[in-house]
A = this chain, B = another copy of it.
Amino acid sequence: MARLLIVEDQKKLLASLQRGLQEEGYDVITAATGEDGFYQATTAAVDLLILDVMLPKRDGFQVLTDLRQQGFAPPVLMLTARDRVEDRITGLDSGADDYLVKPFAFAELLARVRALLRRDSAARETVLRADNLEVNLLSRRVVRQGEEIELTRREFELLEYLLRHKNSTVTRDMIARDVWKEPSGSLTNVADVYIKTLRKKIERADRVQLIHTIRGVGYALRDEA
């Protein structure tokens, strides 16, 4: 589950936020000062930061500016008692993704947290699909029907190539050239062998055949959606 960092100096509020968010299943870590918050944000692997503006020593705006400067990428939800429009604009422009004014309903905080995490993970997606097969090019994870499939580098590259040419036939020469980066007349049957291991891994329990043999030509990954 996602890891949240809450930076808030009011003990009672901090405790109740932590408890509430943990009950929702989040992994919550906390800090009570701007300095500690900064430290935790840069050292723990945080998925979302909930940051109070009014903090002793270093205020939230400053912490956030410094973090973004450093390349801190996760979404940030600012909390504050200050309800002036200028404050909200300052917060957003110093790198916050959302801005919630105290007092707020916990349920709304939750909804905003969900929205921020949802977008963050959605935007990172670079996914190729066919049938119920999903290939994430960034995380390099392959999933079919909720089941994760482990592929080696070559297998992954071959599958990516087939997916990019979805519903059209690719010849062995094309594969040799583009996946193996070898001259046209590659003598061996490496590609055949890899097609086999791909089939074994991808078309196992699942009965829908994706990779079709085009006799005399090559292979085709078909998505009859």
Contact = CB atoms under 8 A, between A and B. Distances in A.
Interface of A: 42-45, 70-71, 73, 75, 85, 88-89, 92-93, 96-98, 105, 107-108, 110-112, 114-116, 119-120, 122-124, 126, 137-138, 153, 164-171, 174, 178
A70 B222 CA distance: 10
B123 A42 contact: no
A95 to B, nearest CB: 8
14 contacts: A42-B165, A43-B165, A75-B119, A85-B108, A88-B111, A89-B110, A92-B112, A92-B115, A97-B115, A97-B116, A98-B98, A119-B120, A123-B123, A153-B153
B119 A97 contact: yes
A218 to B, nearest CB: 9
B126 A138 contact: yes
Given A89-B107, A93-B114, 12 more contacts: A42-B168, A43-B165, A43-B169, A44-B174, A73-B122, A73-B123, A85-B105, A89-B110, A89-B111, A92-B112, A93-B111, A120-B123
A116 B116 CA distance: 10
Nearest to A106: B85
A185 B37 CA distance: 25
B108 A89 contact: yes
B92 A114 contact: yes
Contacts of A174: 43-45
A166 B72 CA distance: 8
Contacts of A98: 98, 115
Contacts of A89: 107-108, 110-111
A108 B165 CA distance: 30
